[in-house]
Amino acid sequence: MQLPLRCRRRLRVGLTAGLVAGILATAAPAAADEFDEGGTLYAIQKRQHALGHEFTLAIGTVPLDAFYKGLTGTFSYTYHFNDSWAWEIVGFTYSSNFWTGLKDELEQQWKVKPVNIPELNYMGDSNLLWKPLYGKLAYFNRALIYGEFFFTLGPAIAKYTTPGAYLGGNAGIGFRVHLSKYFSTRLDIRYYRFQRLDKIGDSDDVLFIQLGLSLNIH
């Protein structure tokens, strides 16, 4: 027996409304689980790798100065309070410098002899790390790569080839890729501003880029 057209339409509307209501009723508790009572959204998954005591060896470059370029080696120790904050308690960097052709060009072609060009010998710093972003990427659908993006800020002190000490600070960004539970690699890009303590107005800007391997002991 075939139902009238009007009844069939009402039946379809009723089934559709019931299906939508069922979907919403099922999805509502799942969505509510992602929020606490205050309405704060939490990540569905915890971080795969928890960091504790981090020891880092890195190589890098100081490429900003027009007269010389530096090849750097760095050691640092960082303590991670939690997933968001860490303190790079100490970092020490030594720079091996190489002159560019600008100095020779000024002396030979323009008969100008630059004097007292300060070269960075080494520097030390201590930085606060803020790690707001963490995520994972699929590598050709074969493996998952876990990483985090962080910001750095802190004071620094430096020694140049010219007499006197330089005091300043730095700010930077970085990215970490976890290789395993204990090892990770990190890229740091930092900008330093130093002021010579015994000579007001004698300052230097340093762009510092380094790639390091870190050992994590949790």
* Res. 28: pLDDT tops 50: no
Higher pLDDT, 111 or 133: 133
185-209 tens-digit pLDDT = 999 999 999 999 888 878 899 999 9
Q: Tell me, what amino acid is at 124?
A: G
The span from the CA of 45 to the CA of 126, in Å, is 31
Q: Which of 35, 137, 45, 126 is nearest to 83 (CA)?
A: 45
Q: Cβ(149)–Cβ(132) under 8 Å?
A: yes
123-180 tens-digit pLDDT = 999 999 999 999 988 888 888 899 999 999 999 999 998 888 999 999 999 999 999 9
Q: What mean pLDDT value characterizes the chain?
A: 83
Higher pLDDT, 119 or 89: 89
Tokens of 134: 């963490």
Go through 141-166 and write b for each residue having 16 or more CB atoms within 10 A of its CB, e for each that does not. eeeeebbbebebebebbbbbeeeeeb
- CA 162, chain centre distance (Å): 32
Q: Where are the alpha helices (DSSP H) in the chain?
A: 5-32, 102-108
64-80 tens-digit pLDDT = 888 889 999 999 999 99
The span from the CA of 6 to the CA of 90, in Å, is 79
User: Which pLDDT does position 91 carry in this prediction?
Assistant: 98
User: Which pLDDT does position 33 carry in this prediction?
Assistant: 44
Mean pLDDT along residues 103-107 = 71
The span from the first CA to the last CA of the chain, in angstroms, equals: 73
